[in-house]
């Protein structure tokens, strides 16, 4: 039996183990990973690993030497299939049992797929290092690429694919990409980056099927249109890897429910961290599940502090970034909680900014392009509850986008 068992070896799981050791934890730590290689970072999969110059090597989160130095008993290619909280045991697909005194659930999420893709070569999701390696091998010979979904994964892949000279089309179900998060106006601004770089966006379109017997040859749309394709990437969101907890009694809705310290209610020895954690967020006073790299890292520190009985680190507003066509898009806070109150410039030039405010005019989120200093200024405004109208923004252009 391990003192602390961490199921999942991506950012949340790894940062939890590191934070425990940094805080002086001497307990035994066992980590289970269903992947076949050492823990690695996920953001580079849709960025650096797709570049022509990429050697196809994943960016490690832990080297074998670091695993040894942290005294982590790491088991790769080991998938959890059932939790028995009464016995405090996790069952794995290979028939083993791993006992624990404290359990950290960090199994994350996986990409959603579409019907009709099973066994059809040339159709991918992008979540694991092997996906990126296979796509990197396909891209040099791809001529007609279809990306389904205009979220960050789809947009980043389109940005990589167009550099290979392929014809790239993005199919997006929403009338305006990202409108559900950023609003129509800012969504249109960011969608314009695709057109500026030769990528076609078909918005308000649904995929109805795929053509091809062994390998994809086309994508059928509900409107009746057919798009020829020799490579397809699906980026239509995720679902939590929580099936293995189905009969455990652990509360699951949109993720594993947990309090602000990431402890699962009714199970004081169980924590959840990262993409799978539906946390009672201390800033927003409501359950929030966030699929951001920075959030997963912060969760590691919160869980470690709770296990060690130390004060919890101060919670930060959500933050995510995306690199597309040589531009960096940064989103801080929760824009969906407000409306666009202040803007500067447009997305076709560096320095575009959109600040979101709630009904009282308080900053709740911001979208920034290519201006890291402005991002830090907006973060401070959100944390301190500053009014959007009081922001000191050089060469500010005030204009209301359509909400």
CA atoms within 13 A on the CB side of 6: 34
Residue 315 inside a domain? The answer is: no
Are 277 and 190 in a shared domain? Answer: no
In terms of domains, do 25 and 103 share one?
yes
For residue 252, give every residue at least 6 positions away whose Cβ sits within 8 Å of its Cβ, in sequence order, or none: 240, 242, 245, 246
Same domain, 184 and 73: no
pLDDT for position 54: 86
**Cα separations in angstroms, 300 against 53, 106, 333:** 33, 10, 20
Count of other CB atoms within 10 angstroms of residue 33: 24
Cα gap 378→365, rounded to integer Å: 8
The span from the CA of 304 to the CA of 15, in Å, is 9
Residues 138 and 119 reside in one and the same domain: yes
Task: Based on the fold, state whether residues 106 and 245 are members of the same structural domain.
Answer: yes
Residue 396 within a domain: no
The per-residue pLDDT string of the chain (403 residues; one tens digit each, 9 = 90 and over) reads 779 999 999 999 999 999 999 999 999 999 999 999 999 999 999 999 999 888 888 999 999 999 999 999 999 999 999 999 999 999 999 999 999 999 999 999 999 999 999 989 999 999 999 999 999 999 999 999 999 999 999 999 999 999 999 999 999 999 999 999 999 999 999 999 999 999 999 999 999 999 999 999 999 999 999 999 999 999 999 999 999 999 999 999 999 999 999 999 999 999 999 999 999 999 998 999 999 999 999 999 999 999 999 999 998 999 999 999 999 999 999 999 999 999 999 998 888 999 999 999 999 999 999 999 999 999 999 999 999 999 888 764 444 443 3
User: Could you tell me the CATH number of the domain that includes residue 279?
Assistant: 3.50.50.60
- Same domain for 10 and 72? yes
Q: In the 3-class helix/strand/coil scheme, how is 274-328 assigned residue by residue?
A: HHHEEEEECCCCEEECCCCHHHHHHHHHHHHHHHHCCCCCCCCCCEEEEEECCEE
- Indicate whether 200 belongs to any domain: yes
In a domain, 120, yes or no: yes
The answer to whether residues 82 and 153 belong to one domain is no
Residue 29's nearest CA partner among 45, 50, 43, 15 is 15
Question: Number of folded domains in the chain?
Answer: 3
Is residue 145, in this structure, part of any structural domain at all? Answer: yes
CA distance 286 to 278: 10
Dihedral in degrees, nearest 10, Cα atoms 292, 294, 300, 303: -70
Domain contains 400: no
Domain boundary pick from 236, 270, 298: 236
Claim: this prediction has a pTM higher than 0.75: yes
Query: What CATH number did the domain enclosing 364 receive?
Result: 3.30.390.30
186 contacts: CB under 8 Å, gap ≥ 6: 178, 335, 340, 354, 367, 401
Same-domain pairing of 106 and 243:
yes
CA 23 to chain centre: 27
Does 232 share its domain with 251? no
d(CA 382, CA 380): 5
42, 34, 75: which is closest to 61 by C-alpha?
Answer: 42
Let me know whether 106 and 6 are in one domain: yes
Nearest-5° angle of CA 302, CA 253, CA 99?
55
Shared-domain flag, residues 152 and 94: no
* 401 in any annotated domain: no
The confidence score (pLDDT) of residue 130 equals: 95
Say yes or no: 220 and 206 in one domain: yes
Which range of residues forms the domain containing residue 18? 2-110+239-308
pLDDT of residue 44: 93
In the listed set 236, 270, 291, which residue is the last one of a domain according to the structure? 236
Q: Which residue has the tokens 């092997």?
A: 130
Distance CA 146, CA 155 (A): 11
Residue 403 placed within a domain: no
């Amino acid at each position: 039996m391990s003192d602390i068992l961490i199921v999942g070896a991506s950012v949340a799981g790894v940062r939890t183990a590191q934070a425990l050791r940094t805080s002086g934890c001497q307990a035994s730590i066992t980590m289970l990973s269903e992947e076949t290689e050492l823990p690695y970072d996920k953001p580079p999969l849709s960025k650096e690993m797709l570049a022509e110059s990429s050697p196809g090597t994943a960016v490690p989160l832990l080297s074998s030497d670091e695993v040894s130095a942290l005294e982590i008993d790491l088991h790769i290619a080991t998938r959890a299939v059932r939790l028995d909280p009464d016995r405090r045991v996790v069952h794995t697909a290979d028939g083993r049992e791993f006992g624990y005194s404290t359990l950290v659930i960090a199994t994350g999420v996986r990409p959603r797929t579409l019907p009709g893709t099973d066994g059809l070569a040339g159709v991918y999701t992008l979540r694991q290092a092997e996906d990126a390696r296979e796509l990197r091998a396909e891209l040099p010979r791809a001529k007609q690429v279809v990306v389904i979904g205009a979220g960050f994964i789809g947009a980043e892949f389109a940005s990589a694919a167009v550099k290979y000279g392929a014809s790239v089309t993005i199919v997006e179900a929403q009338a305006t990409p990202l409108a559900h998060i950023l609003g129509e106006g800012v969504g249109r601004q960011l969608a314009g980056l695709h057109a500026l770089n030769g990528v076609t966006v078909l918005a308000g379109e649904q995929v109805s099927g795929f053509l091809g017997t062994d390998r994809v040859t086309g994508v059928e749309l509900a409107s009746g249109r057919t798009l020829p394709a020799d490579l397809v990437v699906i980026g239509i969101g995720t679902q939590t890897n929580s099936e293995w907890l189905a009969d455990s009694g652990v509360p699951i809705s949109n993720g594993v429910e947990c309090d602000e310290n990431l402890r699962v209610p009714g199970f004081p020895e169980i924590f959840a961290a990262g993409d799978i954690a539906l946390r009672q967020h201390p800033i927003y006073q409501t359950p929030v599940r966030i699929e951001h790299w920075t959030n997963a890292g912060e969760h590691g520190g919160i869980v470690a502090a709770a296990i060690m009985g130390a004060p919890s680190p101060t919670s930060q507003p959500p933050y995510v970034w995306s690199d597309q066509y040589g531009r960096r898009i940064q989103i801080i806070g929760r824009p969906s909680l407000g409306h666009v109150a202040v803007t500067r410039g447009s997305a076709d030039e560096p320095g575009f900014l959109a600040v979101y405010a709630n009904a009282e005019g308080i900053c709740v989120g911001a979208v920034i392009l290519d201006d890291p200093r402005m991002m830090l200024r907006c973060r401070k405004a959100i944390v301190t509850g500053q009014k959007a109208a009081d922001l000191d923004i050089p060469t500010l252009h005030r204009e209301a986008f359509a909400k």
